[in-house]
Amino acid sequence: MADKQKTDVQDNAENQELETGVPTNKLTAMIQGWSTQQRIIALAAACGAVFLVLHFIAIRPLTDYRKKIENQIHESKAMIPEKLKVLKEKESIWKDRESLRDYWTSATVSREEEIAEFLRTIESVSQRNNLFVSNINPVQVNSKEGDLTYQLSVVLEGAGSVPSVKQFIADLERSNAPIRVESVNLRSQGAGETDLRYKFSVVKLGVQLPG
């Protein structure tokens, strides 16, 4: 039994010698011959080697990832003022756009359809105020190249009483369409002080929206 244990010890020693390249008895003797300071230095070196391995395998990737996240957060914070500025500009544009809603004309609406609607509005308001229209000149379209705004203008001629003329102008300018009376020319017909001949220049403002 004792011989077998001795043989096992010898085999283990031989295996260690093969792995380290240094005879076990010599390695053991060398370590045993170290001073306490040398042993501490060797232990520190071993710990340092382990730390370096852990650093490159686990700690460094985590540190790099943390720095990457911190940089992304910093960049996002730096962009906040610019994004707020853009949002305010968009809000201002939207408010301006909403304030011109009555002037909008969709690109899907033809100019002929818009002119017809313009004339129907004038006819409806004149009939409601008992104003006689004897002549309507062709509608003129005034616009500048590259400008979204434009004007439709028409000259009306007819007759009516003073109250009818006043109410016609007021109702026309209060209609949903952005219409105004630019000029008025009145003269008496001679049949009475309340019977007038009139000549109006009526303009409709518009903003052509892209399709």
Task: Give me the CATH code for the 103-208 domain, please.
Answer: 3.30.70.60
According to the model, what pLDDT value does residue 4 have? 44
According to the model, what pLDDT value does residue 113 have? 80
**Can you say whether the dihedral through the CA atoms of 76, 78, 79, 83 is positive or negative?**
positive
Give the CB-side neighbour count of residue 77, counting CA atoms within 13 A: 6
Residue 209 burial (10 A CB sphere; 0-12, 13-18, 19+): middle
Overall pTM > 0.95: no
Per residue in 70-120, pLDDT (tens digit) is 777 777 777 777 777 777 776 665 565 555 555 455 555 677 787 888 888
Per residue in 126-155, pLDDT (tens digit) is 888 888 888 888 777 776 666 667 778 888
Q: What are φ and ψ of residue 155, in 5° steps?
A: -110, 125
